[in-house]
Structure 1
Amino acid sequence: MGTSRMFRVFVVLGSAFMILLIIIYWDDVGAPHLYLHTPVSPGPKTPHTAPHQQPQTSRTPSFLNDIDAFVNQFLEPGTGEPTDPVPADTSNQSEKAEERYIPRREWKIHLTPVAAELRERQEQRRRLLQEMCANDSVVFPGKNRSFDDITNKELDHLIVDDRHGIIYCYVPKVACSNWKRIMIVLSESMLRDGVPQRDPLAIPRELVHNSSMHFTFNKFWKRYGKFAKHLMKVKLKKYTKFIFVRDPFVRLISAYRNKFEMRNEDFYRRFAQVMLRRYANQPTPPASVDEAFGVGIHPSFSNFIQYLLDPQTEKEMPFNEHWRQVYRLCHPCQIQYDFVGHLETAEEDAEHLLRQLRVDNVVEFPTSSRNLTSSSWEADWFSKVPVEARRELYKLYEPDFRLFGYDRPDSILNE
C-alpha cells in the first residue's frame, strides 16, 4: 500500500515538472520553429538519409499535439476539445492521409522582391495604428485595457493556423469569406477524399462560416485550461498577425444590402422586425421574410441607422458582428498587427501578404466578380438620413476611421 502511494506522489511531481518544462521550452524556442519538421509548403529538395540511419517512415508528432495530449490529462472530463462538433466528413485526418497527399504546385521562385511602395504602404499603416493607439485624443471604450482584460468571447474573431504561424482577425463584410477559405486550406482542416482541400473556392459557403472549421482564440480555454492566456501571448508574439479593413460607412452599406435587401430569415426575425416595429410604423410586421418581401416590406437604410444609434439597441445585446466596430472585433491597441490590408487595395495587399507569409505557392487569393459596394455610392445611400444622424453615426465609428487611415467623410457630414 505504501509503495503504491509513493508511486502516485512521484507521478504527480513528475507531471508538475513536465508542465514547467513545457512552458519554458515553449517560451525559449517559439512555436513557429517547432513546425519546421512538418512544413506545408516545402521548397524543392533532394531526399537525403544520414549514414547509418534508417529513413523515417512516419511523421514526427508536432509539439502542439504533444502539449494537447499532455494538458488534456489535467482537464475535467468533457473540456479537452472545442465545443463545436466537427462535421464527420470534414474532420482533420491529414496525418492518416499523408501517404495520399496530392503533390503541391512547383515551388515559385520570385526574381523580383515585393515592390518598395507596397512595403512602405504597410509601414505607414502599422505606424498609424501605433500612433493612434498612443494618441490621447483618440478615445474609445477598451482602448487602454490590457490583453489580459479582454474576455474570452471577445477573442472569437482571431483564427489561428499553427502549421504556418499565422493569426487572422476576420472582419465581416471585408472579404472575410475568402480569407477564411484560405485559412482552411492552410490549416488543412478540411479533407476531400482523404486529402486536404487545396482549392479555396471549392469550400462550400456553409462550411466557410462553420466555427468548427477554425481554431480561434476563444477555444483555447477549453483546450488548454489555465495555460490558455499564456499560450495566446506566446503566439501573438511569434506568429504573423494580419487584418483586413474597409471604409466604415461603406461597410455599413454593404451589411445593410446583404442582410436586409436580400431574403435572410434569421436577420429578418432577429433585427428587421425590431426595426420595423420601432422606426417604420409597423406594429405587427409580417411573420417571415418571404411574407415581408411579398408585400414589399423591409427596413430602410435610414431605419438601420436609427437602430445603430438607438441606446436601447446595445442595452439588449452587443452589435452584431456585421456592423460591430473593427476596434471591438480585433483589438488593434492590444494586438500589434504585422499586416493591415484594405479592401480598397485588396488584390495588391493579398498578393503581398501571401508572399510575405511564404504560402503563395500553396494558395492564391480568390478574385471576386460580385458587385461590391462602392464608396462613390455613399452620398446616395445617406441622402435620406438626417445630417445630425450622420454626424452621430460618424462619432460611433470614428475610431475605425482614424485607426485605419480613412478620411472623415466631410461631404456627407457637412451638408
Structure 2
Amino acid sequence: MGTSRMFRIFVVLGSAFMILLIIIYWDDVGASHLYLHTPVSPGPKIPHPAPPQPPQTSRTPSFLSDIDAFVNQFLEPGTGEPTDPAPADSSNQSEKAEERYIPRREWKIHLTPVAAELRERQERRRRLLQEMCANDSVVFPGKNRSFDDIPNKELDHLIVDDRHGIIYCYVPKVACSNWKRIMIILSESLLRDGVPQRDPLAIPRDLVHNSSMHFTFNKFWKRYGKFAKHLMKVKLKKYTKFLFVRDPFVRLISAYRNKFELRNEDFYRRFAQVMLRRYANQPTPPASVDEAFGVGIHPSFSHFVQYLLDPQTEKEMPFNEHWRQVYRLCHPCQIQYDFVGHLETAEEDAEHLLRQLRVDNVVEFPTSHRNLTASSWEADWFSTVPVEARRELYKLYEPDFRLFGYDRPESILNE
C-alpha cells in the first residue's frame, strides 16, 4: 500500500515539474500568451501586455514534441484558431501596463461576412501557387529544396509578429514600406512617450527600414540557437503568413525609377557607376550622384536591363532585394502562404487581410498618394530594349509571372 502511494506521489510531482518546464520554455519563446489569429467574427480582443522575459533556462531537445502537444491542445489542427477560447480577463493587468495602452477607437463590429468574391480570389491565388510548385514545367533554382535547406541569410525578409501570430514576407517595390509600418504598429516595437505608436504614417522612413525594428527569421539563430529552425516551423504552421506581389516587369520599372532616376548616392556608387562603365561608354563616370545629375548622366533603363542579364552581375553579388525575384525572397514553394495580395488590388486586399487578422480595429492600411508605376507604361519603357533582351528578361522572371498569376506580356515579347 505504501509503495503504491509513493508511486502516485512521484507521478504527480513529475507531471507538475514537466508542465512547469513547458510553460517556462514557451514563455521564453515569446508565445505564452498565445497571441494567435482568430476567425473573423464580431467582438473585440482585449490587448494583453507582453510578459517580462524570464532568464534563459537549460533545455533539451525532448521538450520540443511536448511543446507542440501543449500548444495543439488549444488549437484546431491546421487552422491556428482557438478551439474553446476563454473570455479575456484584464483584471490582472498592472497599472503600469494599463498606462502603456492609449484608448483605441471603437471596436469594429462586422455585421456582414467578407465578400465571397474576395474569399474566392484568395483561394484561386493559393491554389495557383500550389499547382505551380507541383508543376514540373515551372523550373527555378531552389524550387525543390526543403525549408531546412534554405540558408539563414535568405530568411531575412520574413518578419514575425508574435503578439498577433503573423508572418509577413516583404517584397521591395510592392508597398513594403507601409506594410512594414503596420508590422511595427502591431508588434508595438516603437514607443512614443512610453506609449506604442498607433499612426503608421507617423513612423519616420529611416525607422521603417531599420532592421532593428523588425524580428525576422534570420535572427532566430542568435536568440534560439539550435532550436531556431524548429521554432520557425512551429510558427509557420500556426501563424498567418502573407505577402504582396505585383507584375514583375512593372516592379523592375518601379525599382529603376526610384533608384536611378532620383538622386541616391548609395545606389549610384554601388550600381549606377558599374552600369555606366560597362554599358554606357563611361570609363570614368562622375564620382558622386550630384556630379552625375549635374551633367545629365545616369544609366538608362536599357542599361539596367543589360545589368540584370549580364552573367557577371550575380558572380559579383546576389541581386539587390529591389530587383531580386520574389521566389528568392519569400520561398513560396517551401512556405504555404495563407494570403497572397496583389498591388493591383491593394486596397481591397489590404482591407480583407486586416479584417481576416482581426486587427482592422487597431490599424488601417495607409492610402498611398505617390506616383505609382502603371502597367500601361510597359511598352514605352521597353521601347529602347531589344526584343531578344526582353525575352531573356522574361525567362529570368518567368517563375514570378507564373507563380502569382501574371500573364505573359505578349505585346512586349513579340514586337
Larger CA deviation: 29-38 vs 387-396: 29-38
The Cα offsets for residues 164-192 of structure 1, whole Å up to 9 and x where unpaired, read as 00000000000000000000000000001
CA–CA distance in structure 2, aligned partners of residues 35 and 338 of structure 1:
17
Q: CA deviation at 1:111?
A: 1.1
Report if the CA contact (8 A) 2:165-2:238 is conserved.
yes
Report if the CA contact (8 A) 2:114-2:352 is conserved.
yes
1:99 partnered with 2:102: no
The Cα offsets for residues 86-125 of structure 1, whole Å up to 9 and x where unpaired, read as 9999999999554242111111001111110000000000
Larger CA deviation: 59-68 vs 106-115: 59-68
Report if the CA contact (8 A) 1:92-1:190 is conserved.
no
Report if the CA contact (8 A) 1:104-1:362 is conserved.
yes
2:319 equivalent in structure 1: 319
Q: CA deviation at 1:240?
A: 0.1
1:296 equivalent in structure 2: 296
Match of 1:71, SS? helix
Q: CA deviation at 1:74?
A: 29
Report if the CA contact (8 A) 1:40-1:164 is conserved.
no
Report if the CA contact (8 A) 2:125-2:340 is conserved.
yes
1:372 and 1:13, CA in 2 relative to 1: closer, same or farther beyond 3 A?
Answer: farther
Larger CA deviation: 39-48 vs 307-316: 39-48
The Cα offsets for residues 258-287 of structure 1, whole Å up to 9 and x where unpaired, read as 000000000000000000000000000000
CA–CA distance in structure 1, aligned partners of residues 92 and 187 of structure 2:
9
Q: CA deviation at 1:252?
A: 0.0
Q: CA deviation at 1:130?
A: 0.1
Match of 2:271, SS? helix
Larger CA deviation: 216-225 vs 43-52: 43-52
CA–CA distance in structure 1, aligned partners of residues 236 and 54 of structure 2:
38
2:60 equivalent in structure 1: 60
Larger CA deviation: 312-321 vs 23-32: 23-32
1:384 and 1:360, CA in 2 relative to 1: closer, same or farther beyond 3 A?
Answer: same
CA–CA distance in structure 1, aligned partners of residues 75 and 111 of structure 2:
50
1:71 and 1:336, CA in 2 relative to 1: closer, same or farther beyond 3 A?
Answer: closer
Q: CA deviation at 1:404?
A: 0.0
Q: CA deviation at 1:254?
A: 0.1
1:86 and 1:360, CA in 2 relative to 1: closer, same or farther beyond 3 A?
Answer: closer
Match of 1:88, SS? coil
1:155 and 1:412, CA in 2 relative to 1: closer, same or farther beyond 3 A?
Answer: same
Report if the CA contact (8 A) 1:325-1:400 is conserved.
yes
Report if the CA contact (8 A) 1:244-1:343 is conserved.
yes
Q: CA deviation at 1:68?
A: 17
CA–CA distance in structure 1, aligned partners of residues 67 and 182 of structure 2:
26
CA–CA distance in structure 2, aligned partners of residues 402 and 243 of structure 1:
16
2:365 equivalent in structure 1: 365
The Cα offsets for residues 39-69 of structure 1, whole Å up to 9 and x where unpaired, read as 9999559999999999999999999999999
1:391 equivalent in structure 2: 391
Percent identity, please.
95
The Cα offsets for residues 158-215 of structure 1, whole Å up to 9 and x where unpaired, read as 0000000000000000000000000000000000110000000000000000000000
1:77 and 1:362, CA in 2 relative to 1: closer, same or farther beyond 3 A?
Answer: closer
Larger CA deviation: 39-48 vs 197-206: 39-48
Q: CA deviation at 1:414?
A: 0.2
Q: CA deviation at 1:77?
A: 38
CA–CA distance in structure 2, aligned partners of residues 331 and 51 of structure 1:
32
Report if the CA contact (8 A) 1:125-1:405 is conserved.
yes
CA–CA distance in structure 1, aligned partners of residues 149 and 54 of structure 2:
51
Report if the CA contact (8 A) 1:401-1:408 is conserved.
yes
TM-score, normalised to structure 1's length? Answer: 0.82
1:151 and 1:78, CA in 2 relative to 1: closer, same or farther beyond 3 A?
Answer: farther
Report if the CA contact (8 A) 2:28-2:56 is conserved.
no
Number of matched pairs: 415
Q: CA deviation at 1:356?
A: 0.2
Larger CA deviation: 170-179 vs 111-120: 111-120
Q: CA deviation at 1:14?
A: 11
Q: CA deviation at 1:12?
A: 22
1:200 and 1:171, CA in 2 relative to 1: closer, same or farther beyond 3 A?
Answer: same
1:23 and 1:130, CA in 2 relative to 1: closer, same or farther beyond 3 A?
Answer: farther
Q: CA deviation at 1:345?
A: 0.1
1:187 and 1:97, CA in 2 relative to 1: closer, same or farther beyond 3 A?
Answer: same
1:41 and 1:148, CA in 2 relative to 1: closer, same or farther beyond 3 A?
Answer: same
Report if the CA contact (8 A) 1:250-1:378 is conserved.
yes
1:87 equivalent in structure 2: 87
The Cα offsets for residues 291-316 of structure 1, whole Å up to 9 and x where unpaired, read as 00000000000000000000000000
Q: CA deviation at 1:78?
A: 36
Structure 1's unaligned 5+ residue stretches are none
Report if the CA contact (8 A) 1:79-1:223 is conserved.
no
Match of 1:159, SS? strand
Report if the CA contact (8 A) 2:292-2:298 is conserved.
yes
CA–CA distance in structure 2, aligned partners of residues 31 and 346 of structure 1:
30
1:237 and 1:306, CA in 2 relative to 1: closer, same or farther beyond 3 A?
Answer: same
1:38 equivalent in structure 2: 38
Larger CA deviation: 277-286 vs 40-49: 40-49
1:95 and 1:53, CA in 2 relative to 1: closer, same or farther beyond 3 A?
Answer: closer
Q: CA deviation at 1:35?
A: 3.2
Report if the CA contact (8 A) 2:36-2:80 is conserved.
no
Larger CA deviation: 54-63 vs 13-22: 54-63
Report if the CA contact (8 A) 2:26-2:32 is conserved.
no
Report if the CA contact (8 A) 2:272-2:298 is conserved.
yes
1:314 and 1:94, CA in 2 relative to 1: closer, same or farther beyond 3 A?
Answer: farther
Report if the CA contact (8 A) 1:301-1:381 is conserved.
yes
CA–CA distance in structure 2, aligned partners of residues 84 and 404 of structure 1:
36
CA–CA distance in structure 2, aligned partners of residues 58 and 149 of structure 1:
27
